[in-house]
Amino acid sequence: MNRNARKWWRAHKQRVQQQAVPSHTPLHKELAENEQQLRALYDNCSDVVFRSFRIGGSTRALVVYIDGLTNTEELERNVLSVLMKTKMPKDSAIGKLLDNVVSVSQTNELATFEDCLESVANGFPTLLIDQQECALSFGLAKWEKRPVEEPMAEGVVRGPREGFTESIQVNMALIRRIIKTPALKMEQMQIGGYTKTKVVLAYIDGIVDMDLVTEARARLNRIDIDGVLESGYIEELIEDHPASPFPQILSTERPDVTCGNLLEGRIAIIVDGTPFVMIAPATLFSLLQSSEDYYQRSIVSSAIRWLRFLFTGISFLLPSLYVALITFHQEMVPTSLLISMAASREAVPFPALVEALLMEVTFEALREAGVRLPKQIGAAISIVGALVIGQASVQAGLVSAPMVIVVAITGIASFMIPHYIAGLAIRLLRIPMMFLAGSLGLLGIMLGIIVTVIHLSTIRSLGVPYLTPIGPMKFAEWKDTLVRAPWWMMNARPHLTGDYQKIRQGANQKPGPEKGGDPA
Amino acid sequence: MGRLLEQGKISSSQMSKMLFLVIVASTVISVPSLTGKYAQNDLWLSPILASLIGFLTVFIVFSLNRLYPQQTVIQYSPDIIGKVPGKIFGLLLLFFYLHITGLIVRNYAEFIMGNFLPQTPISIVIFTMIAVCVYGVKAGIETIGRTAQVFFFFFLFPLILMPFLLRDMHLDFVFPMFEHGLLPALKGAIIPQAYFSEMFLMSFLLPYVTDPEKGMRAGMLATLGVAVVLTGVNIFILLVFGRQSSDYLYPVMAAFRYISIADFIENLDSVVMTVWILGMYVKISVFYYATVLGTSQWLELSDYRPIVIPIGMLIAAISFWSMPNINAPVISFPFYSPLMQTICPLLLLGVAYLRKKGKRQSQAQTAAASGSVHSEKQEG
């Protein structure tokens, strides 16, 4: 961005602020003045309702709220009707009115126009009274919300079925319902010049390294953007290596995953308006873990983890290995297999690299189309897809049957990665790997792997190296990375960075026959 | 203390894995045949004898580092033998490393071409590897350390496959032991000891180790690890090929070609090659890094990154011109390498000790002299 643009942006921001908010202007004593100001600000805003009335038939008052964001029934029953019938106390203390008359649980006293605007925008009806220098806001916000449903992208067989929703209050409540200690802190801030999106930084005091919280808070406060529509906006503005394809912040739809990470000393960033909560710091291996690993038997989970590592490797390398073997290293394929592969490739006019690229790109396109298409057409696409990348293309002699198998296995393998975004990085890197394999064979694949590992070992996520616990090596953490040790073995928390509470549970909890029955 | 060119830090265990890969990567492929030429069926003993040079080098480097912590050899040699001779020695050392790195790259390229990509131009093989190493070296020592840690495990993987060769092993190939005395084994040790003296690279790494007091242990462990692996590989090659070991240019590759599991898992030499490329990457990038870091310290630059690519080009050029082909006898290397990396540092260490002793004596003398003059004052 050049200097002029920057200057313009700064001036523009000032202008907007001056126009929009008479910032920190205290409220007038005269109701008429206040009303005029507010009506001027909410000029042409048809959704804002101004309702004038008299308290006890004498003192003039005004309620401002936004239609559709406020529970009008409650407002009528507990505020308007009560106030109209009562008498304004002589000593004119607004507090007394609150104590004795209004039966709303959450109320707030506001002193400036800015506060009034914020409270109205959040759906709180705001009451202004003549001859009073402060206004009242009532916690009667109510709008249409999606109910808590099963997460779309992170399903489990065993484990809670609740997923986050778009409402930040609901999301915070879902976390608080699991972690009940007051040590769970939720710091709220507003990001976005126009959207004024609520962002909450959650952590468990006493477990988390406070330097991590300070760093995250500083990065969040640094953000200067006009709107936040999804947590991705914030992720891009606070991550360490913007140019990397690998996600350095984990996002999840599941409250149990969030809580598990909070208990391991990570921080969570909850953004209003999205069901995706961000968790940092993340490592490569945390992206390859599923919450279900911790709910199933540890031996089974360990085996599934290994399967997942294997298929992550397949998803990354299988097409390029196939290309390298077919193009350069035929001698490595067992003879009988080589003969059948050669037979099926006989009619194919393309070199292996072109064949692989053709199929991979088609498959990725089908997959992407499947996400975008309306549900009714989805079935049609899957039939067409099965024909295109399956039977028909082989019969037409465009691709060989082994290639179809390779692409299919690769496609399945990429669904084994529990976090969709991590899968995307690997899907993306597959293409350059295929070019390397097509030009230098196995050597090219190895060079590609080396470059990927170099890249992975330069990345950090909020100060934690991305390849922990392999490089730098932390042997104690292998039991929750390469395998999933049973809970009675995982007495120490994983070490992220800085000081933290090391021990998470009592020692010697291994169950066994000697523990049952009488302690005699 | 000089300004640190490198901000990153590595741990002593990362350093020992880097050094292990540096030495094993180039020796494991060809050393059995090189030692077998002289040691015949005593070739298993040669790496053990050769490792003595490694232990000695580690000891020298560590002692020098204790005298000049946070400095590399390029920085402390002017302090030890005077500014001009020290700079000249530094320059010689840098030329040595530049030359050796070029030789390593050439060896790597010859191996790849000889075994896997016979029709690919050698320049492509060399340039791709140097490009990858440029990326690694620019990322800094931290990254090289971590990649070494990751690749270390992969590198050990082919060892698991060795038992599948039990069928082809003949224990009687070991005998007769010491048919001509110890001399053949000693002769066989001449080439591996040149590789063991590469432990001197520790001098460039120790200033960036977070726990340098463990440096000695890490270096010794790396040397021991190399000795164990090389001895193991030599025994295994000896048991498979006997006295023919030296007939193969790359006996390890030949041995792995013998493996056949259920007539399906075959041609495992390619597994060895892929893993070996990982080791070679670590080896080249550590040498490359030492050259770049040393050069920037010699020139007293404030950052080493600008000279990474120019030095990479020099390495590529040297790798083209340093030898006509892989079979050209590299007679000088077994003497050249320990001369620069073990004997010269040993002399440096000797001079440093003498100077320190002399300094302490002269200090003691001056202290005593000044003490006698000022003693009354101090007492008063």
- pLDDT of A23 above 60: no
Note the pLDDT of residue B6. Answer: 67
**Residue A96's Cα: distance from chain center in Å?**
44
Across the range A427-455, mean pLDDT stands at 92
User: Which of B112, B117, B149 minimises the CB distance to A472?
Assistant: B149
Query: From chain A, which residues contact B within 8 Å (Cβ)?
Result: 328-329, 331-332, 334, 440-447, 449-451, 453-454, 457-458, 465, 467, 470-473
Cis peptide before A281 (omega within 30 of 0): yes
Q: Which residues contact B275 (CB under 8 A, 6 or more apart)?
A: B154, B155, B157, B158
Contact A442 B270 (CB under 8 A): yes
pTM: 0.87
pLDDT, tens digit, 9 for 90 and up, residues A156-176:
888 898 999 999 999 999 999
Chain B: residue nearest A442 by CA?
A: B274
Mean pLDDT value across chain A: 85
* Out of A332, A450, A467, closest to residue B270 by CB: A332
**Is the confidence at residue A462, as pLDDT, over 80?**
yes
What is residue A396's predicted lDDT score, i.e. its pLDDT? 82
Q: How far apart are the first and last CA of chain B?
A: 38
pLDDT at A93: 63
B106-149 pLDDT, tens digit per residue, is 888 988 888 888 888 889 999 999 999 999 999 989 999 999 99
Distance from CA of B215 to the nearest CA of A (A): 17
Average pLDDT over residues A128-135: 82
Determine whether the interchain pair B139/A454 forms a contact, defined as Cβ–Cβ distance below 8 Å: yes
For the ranges A102-111, A164-173, A264-273, A507-516, the lowest mean pLDDT is seen at A507-516
The letter for the amino acid at B26 is: S
Checking if the pLDDT of B379 tops 50, the result is no
* Number of other residues whose CB lies within 10 A of the CB of residue A71: 18
Q: Using CA atoms, how far apart are residues B12 and B167, in angstroms rounded to an integer?
A: 40
How far is the alpha carbon of B64 from chain A, nearest alpha carbon, in Å?
27
C-beta atoms of B117 and A467 within 8 A: no
Q: How far is B165 from chain A (nearest CA, A)?
A: 18
Give me the residue from A442, A447, A453 closest to B150, CB to CB: A453
Distance, CA of A322 to CA of A303 (rounded, Å): 26
Residue with tokens 């190296």: A465
C-beta atoms of A470 and B150 within 8 A: yes
**Confidence bin at A367 (pLDDT 50/70/90):** confident
Confidence of residue A291 (pLDDT cuts 50, 70, 90): confident
- Would you say A207 and A493 are in contact if contact means Cβ atoms under 8 Å apart? yes
Most confident of A334-338, B163-167, B324-328: A334-338
Band (pLDDT 50/70/90 cuts) for residue A20 is low
Q: How big is chain B, counted in residues?
A: 380
Amino acid at B84: V
- Closest partner CB to B149 (pick from A450, A458, A471): A471
Q: Are B372 and B228 in contact (CB under 8 A)?
A: no
Enumerate the β-bridge partners of residue A129: A61
Q: Does B70 touch chain A (CB under 8 A)?
A: no
pLDDT, residue B255, reads 83
Backbone angles phi, psi at A279, to 5 degrees: -125, 130
Indicate yes or no: CB of B151 within 8 angstroms of CB of A442.
Answer: no
Write down the domain spans for chain B.
12-379
Q: Does residue A520 carry a pLDDT above 50?
A: no
Rounded to an integer, the average pLDDT of B179-208 is 84
| Residue type present at position B326 | I
Q: Residue A11 pLDDT more than 70?
A: yes
How far is the C-alpha of A67 from the C-alpha of B207, rounded, in Å?
68
What's the distance, CA B291 to chain centroid? 13
Q: Side-chain half-sphere of B24: how many Cα atoms within 13 Å?
A: 33
Please check the confidence at residue B239 and state whether its pLDDT lies above 60.
yes
Q: And the tokens for A107?
A: 């109320």
B115 in reach of chain A (CB within 8 A): no
Whole-number Å distance between alpha carbons of A452 and A134: 60
How many CB contacts within 8 angstroms connect chain A with chain B?
85
To the nearest whole Å, the CA of A510 is away from the closest chain B CA by 31
Which among A331, A451, A458 has CB closest to B132? A451
The CATH code for residues B12-379 is 1.20.1740.10
Q: Do A441 and B124 touch (CB under 8 A)?
A: no
Cβ contacts of A39 within 8 Å, gap of 6 or more: A50
- Chain A interface includes B124 (CB < 8 A): yes
Specify the pLDDT at position B369.
61
Give the model's pLDDT for residue A492: 79
Could you tell me the CA-to-CA distances from B186 to A196, A330, B43, B192 in Å, in that order?
A: 78, 42, 9, 10
> What average pLDDT does range B338-354 have in this prediction?
85
H helices of chain B, where? 12-39, 46-67, 73-81, 83-115, 122-139, 141-161, 183-188, 190-196, 202-205, 215-241, 251-258, 269-298, 308-321, 333-338, 344-379
Most confident of B34-48, B260-274, B305-319, B344-358: B305-319
Closest CB from B149, B263, B273 relative to A470: B149
What mean pLDDT is predicted for residues B243-272?
78
pLDDT value at position B2? 39
Nearest to A471 among B135, B140, B150 (CB): B150
Q: Which residues of B touch A465 (CB under 8 A)?
A: 146
Residue of B nearest to A467 (CA): B146
B112 vs A contacts (CB less than 8 Å):
443
Residue B211, chain A, CB below 8 Å: the answer is no
Closest residue on chain A to B112 (Cα): A443
How distant is the Cα of B336 from the closest Cα of chain A, in angstroms? 31
**What is the reported pLDDT for A83?**
83
- The yes-or-no verdict on residue B20 having pLDDT over 80 is yes
CB B14 within 8 A of CB B148: yes
pLDDT, one tens digit per residue, over B214-238 is 888 888 999 999 999 888 888 888 8
Spatial separation of the C-alpha atoms in residues A255 and A176, rounded to whole Å:
9
The burial class, CB within 10 Å (0-12 / 13-18 / 19+), for A202 is buried
Write the pLDDT tens digit of every residue in A322-362. Answer: 999 888 888 878 888 888 888 888 888 888 999 999 888 88
User: E strands, A344-485, where?
Assistant: 460-461, 464-465
Whether B373 shows a pLDDT value over 50: the answer reads no
CB–CB contact A457 B124 (8 Å) = no
- Among B14, B148, B277, the residue with its CB nearest the CB of A443 is B277
Q: What tokens were used for A398?
A: 């465009």
Are A446 and B278 within 8 A, CB to CB? Answer: yes
Please state, in angstroms and rounded to a whole number, the distance separating the CA atoms of residues A282 and A52: 53
Domain spans of chain A, in order of start = 19-138, 168-282, 305-465
Measuring CA to CA, how many Å separate A307 from each of A4, A470, B158? 55, 18, 21
Q: Is the pLDDT of residue B374 over 70?
A: no
In whole angstroms, what is the distance from residue A341 CA to residue B143 CA?
41
With CB atoms and an 8 Å threshold, state whether A454 touches B135. Answer: yes
| Mean pLDDT, residues A15-39 | 73
pLDDT number for residue A509: 80
Q: Chain-centre distance of CA B112, in angstroms?
A: 21
Asked which of B97-101, B177-181, B338-342 is least confident by mean pLDDT, the reply is: B177-181
- CA atoms lying within 13 Å on the CB side of residue A94: 17
Task: Give B239 or B137, the one with higher predicted confidence.
Answer: B137
Instruction: Using pLDDT thresholds of 50, 70 and 90, give the confidence band for residue A99.
Output: low
